[in-house]
Amino acid sequence: MAQSIIGKNGTESPEPVKAEVTGCVPEWLQGTLLRNGPGLFKVGDTEYNHWFDGMALIHSFTFKDGDVYYRSKFLRSDTFKKNIQANKIVVSEFGTMICPDPCKNIFSKAFSYLLAAIPDFTDNNLINIIRYGEDYYASSEVNYMNQIDPMTLDVIGKMNYRNHIALNMATAHPHYDDEGNTYNMGTALMRFGMPKTMFFPSPDKEHKKPALQKVKQVCNIPFRSTLFPSYFHSFGMTENYIIFVEQPFQLDILRLATAVFRSVNWASCLKYDKEDITLIHLVDRKTGKAVSTKFYTDALVVFHHINAYEDDEHVVFDMITYKDSNLYEMFYLANLRKETHEFIESNMVNFSPPICQRFVLPLTLDKDTPKGTNLVRLKDTTAKAVMQKDGSLYCLPDTIFEGLELPGINYKFNGKKYRYFYGSRVEWTPHPNKIGKVDIVTRKHIEWIEEDATPLSLCLLPHQELWRRMMVDYMKYLAVNLVTSHPHYDNDGKHLQHGTSIVEKGKTKYTLFKVPATTAGGQLQRTLSSQTDGRDPNRTHSQEKFPSATSLKVVDISGGCGAMYEVHIESNEFKGKRTVQQHQLVNQALKEEIQGMHGLRIFTDIPRE
C-alpha cells in the first residue's frame, strides 16, 4: 500500500455505475459483494490517529446476468453526522480521544460513567457487514449497529444491543447456520452484573423482522477477573459446542471508565499479561453449560478464529495467534505511513508474526489418567492435551502456518472438518503483501503476489453446484480486496490498463471492464454528493487530489491460472501520462497443481501515487 495515500480521505459513488464489459462474466455469478472499512480520516483541521478510527465507507459490487455494477457510500451514522456538522472530529474513537467541552459540567456525568463502566461509544461501525434474520447491519464491537439497505447502502435504522439483551459490546464476527440463524457473543459489564461473556443466537429468516425481537441468551461465561475482563474479537463454534478463548489480553475497566477525564484513548485501556495463562471455555450449545474439564494454554493473543469441528470425541479448532499484543500499535497512521524498513528501524518494540495454530480438546477423559499423559488420540495433528495433577488439561498447539492473517474458509465447511484456508500474508509490516492458500493436510501452501500491491481482505464464494456434486472443500471463488501502489495508465492518461497475458491451462484470455470513479485509502470513492446541512460537500475532505483507480479481478487459481476478467473503476482527475507497465499476474508458486485447490480470485486493485 502506498504510504502516500494512507489516511487520506476517500469519497463516495452513491449511484450505481455499470461497468463497460469486454469479455464475459459468468452469468451464474449472481449477487452483491459488500465491503466495509475506514474511509474518512480528516474532518476540517482535525485528523484521526488510528486506522480503526476512520469513518466507515461501505461499497458494493453487484453481479447480475453477466454485468457488474458498483456503488459506495459513507455510513451515515450519528457519529458521521455530528462530525460533518461540526466540521471537526467531535466523537472519540478507538485510538483518538476527544476531550470533553470544558463548558460542560463533565463531573456531573462521572457517576453515570462509572456506573456504566463503558461510556457511550461511537456508532461508527467500520468493521464488518453482518446479517440478523433478513436485516443487514454495519457493525463494529460496540453496542450500536446501523442497519443498511444492501442495495442502496442507505442507513435505514439503528439498533442498540442493550434494548434486546444485556450487553455492552458484541463481536463483529458472528456465525451463521444453514437455517439462517445468526450466533454471536458479547460482553456484559457493571450495570448488567458481574463481568461475563454471553452467547446468543438470533432467529432465522422465518421470524422476519425485527431481527433481534426473539433473541435469546444461551449461556453465561463468567470472567475470572472482575476488573480485567478478556478482550475477544471472534469465537469458535462447532455443531454442538462453543469455543471461547479467555486470553490475558484484557480491558482495564477502571482505566476505561475514566478515560474521558484523563484524556487517554480506548486503545490504551487494553493490557496484556504475558505471564498469565489462556483459558479455553467449551460450552454445550444445547444445554448452555460449560464442559467441566479445565482447558488452558500459555499466554497468547488471538483476534481471528479460522474454523472448528468435532472429530472422534475431540473438538478441534484453529486460530491465528500472537505472542504479544503489539499488533494494534502497527495500525497507528504514523506507523502505516512509514516504509517497511523505516518502520522496523524506528520501532524498538518487537512485533510477533501471526501464527496459525491448531488446538485439540478431548471430550472424554478419565480422572485417574496419570499426570503427563497426552489425551489427544487424533493421528493427523501434533497438538496435545496433557493431564495435570489437578485434573486440568494443558493444551499444546500444532503450528500449521506462520505469517497469515485475515483468514477465510469455504463457509459451507464452517463447523465441519475442512482442508483449506486462505488469508493475507503479513511479514514484519502492517501491510500484507501476498495472498496465501494453505492445505492443512499436506501443510503445503501456494501464494499469489502482484508487484507493488497490498491485499486487504477476502471473501470466499463457493461454486454451489460443484460443491453439491463433489461434497469436498471446493472453492470456485476467492474474493480479495487489493491495493496497488502504482497506476498503469494508457496513453490518454485517464484509463488504467492491465495488458498482462493471463495463462489458464495453456490458454491466454482476459476480460476487462471500465467505469469511472476514484479510490483512496483502500476504499472506493467519489466526492460526497449531498449534505444534510447544505454545506459545501468538499469542505470536510482533504483537497489533495491524486490519480487512482480500482479494479475487480477474477482469477482462476485451480492450477496456477490467471485472470478471467477484470473490473476497472477509474479516476477522471488524473491529467498526466504514465508509462504502461506490463505485470506478470501469475506467480510461479501458483503453477503447482494441488488437487482440489480450485477457485476464482476477485480483488480490488487500487493504485497509488
Binding residues: 173, 233, 304
Residue pointed to by grid coordinates 459489564 = 189
Q: Retrieve residue 312's grid coordinates.
A: 472422534
* Amino acid in position 275: E
**What contacts 5, CB < 8 A, 6 or more positions away?**
520, 521, 546, 548, 608, 609
Q: Retrieve residue 411's grid coordinates.
A: 463457509
**Beta carbons of 431 and 573 less than 8 angstroms apart:** no
Q: Retrieve residue 102's grid coordinates.
A: 470544558
**Beta carbons of 170 and 184 less than 8 angstroms apart:** yes
The binding site for Fe cation consists of: 173, 233, 304
**DSSP character string of 283-325:** EETTT-PBPSS-EEEE--EEEEEEEEEE-SSEEEEEEEEESSS
Residue from 39, 3, 127 nearest 525 by CA:
39
**Beta carbons of 554 and 509 less than 8 angstroms apart:** no
**Beta carbons of 515 and 569 less than 8 angstroms apart:** yes
* Amino acid in position 433: N
**Beta carbons of 301 and 232 less than 8 angstroms apart:** no
For 432-439, the CB contacts below 8 A with 24+ separation are 432/405, 432/406, 432/456, 435/478, 435/480, 435/601, 435/603, 436/401, 436/403, 436/404, 437/478, 437/557, 437/597, 437/599, 438/356, 438/400, 438/401, 438/404, 439/594, 439/597
C-alpha distances (whole Å) from 97 to each of 42, 94, 119, 122, 431 are 14, 8, 12, 11, 25
Residue pointed to by grid coordinates 482505566 = 255
CA distance 452 to 443: 28
**DSSP character string of 266-282:** GGGGEEE-TTSEEEEEE
Residue from 107, 149, 97 nearest 263 by CA:
97
301-310, strands of its sheet edge to edge: 301-310, 314-322, 355-362, 398-402
CA distance 566 to 550: 10
